[in-house]
Amino acid sequence: MMEKINKKHGKSYNQAAGIVKNENKVPLSVEDALKLVEKTKRVKFDETIELHVLLGVDGKQADQQVRGTVVLPNGTGKTQRVLVIAKGPKADEAVAAGADFVGADDMIAKITSGNWLGFDVCITTPDMMAQIGKIAKILGPKGLMPNPKSGTVTIDVAKAVKDAKGGKVEYRLDKNNIIHCILGKMSFGTEKLLQNYQTVIDAIIKAKPPTSKGTYLKSITIASTMGLGVRCLNS
């Protein structure tokens, strides 16, 4: 992905685009890509660093889906608000583990009546899935629906809460066969971002479907929230 200078953009954008165009004529090492993203920073706040990976799979085929979770060794830099929908001892475990919101029918009613979505992760126990179905149309479009594959439908709610608070991220294909994933904050520095990057890439490679043929990692791009995409060498 080559960034183009565009008269419709402001001066700072075009300056950054010019630097990327000159220095990213060929894919860079991940370390150099991260340094270029930092070099072309245009805003004062601590931006999130994002990873975008185009895979050589056909996500329309059930046997070529790529999805999973991974705990970043250095976290995401974001405070995750965790909702746990559970009853009895499991609700108590969630509270002890540090969940921000814990409840059962009351939380479901709160979401249903007011479309309350004041949380980033929703965790539940298998026995509550029938009730969760009542709010699936609300949670689904926001990417908040609990799912066993992402570890958010589980008996071990304490571990799920700690993982979510400790830097767990989910990766999954979008309709264009691209995985988008957070790597952390720009303030982390190159070394910590590299560690997070390697953890995510290793997980994606490990999740390669057996039916996938040809080049698996077709392109890798790193970008900041408000920045420009920088192409990386495939791992």
Q: What is the DSSP string of 65-123?
A: --EEEEE-TT--SSPPPEEEE--HHHHHHHHHHT-SEEESHHHHHHHHHH-----SEEE
Q: What is the pLDDT of residue 9?
A: 67
CB environment 11-20: b (16+ within 10 A), e (fewer):
eebbebbeeb
Report domain extents, the chain. 23-75+168-232, 82-165
* Dist CA 227 CA 13 (whole Å): 8
- pLDDT at residue number 1: 43
Q: What is the pLDDT of residues 183-210, one digit of tens each?
A: 999 999 999 999 999 999 999 999 999 9
Per-residue model confidence (pLDDT) at position 87: 96
Res 88: pLDDT: 96
Domain 23-75+168-232: homologous superfamily in CATH: Ribosomal protein L1/L10, rRNA-binding domain (3.30.190.20)
Alpha-carbon 189 to chain mean position: 19
Q: Specify the CATH number for 82-165; select among 3.40.920.10, 3.40.50.10860, 3.40.50.790, 3.30.230.10.
A: 3.40.50.790
CA-CA distance, 178 to 163, in Å (whole number)? 24
Nearest Cα residue to 200 out of 80, 78, 75, 70 = 70
* Spans of the chain below 70 pLDDT: 1-9, 235
Distant-in-sequence, close-in-space partners of 15: CB < 8 Å, separation ≥ 6? none
Strand 82-85 versus strand 121-124 pairing type: parallel
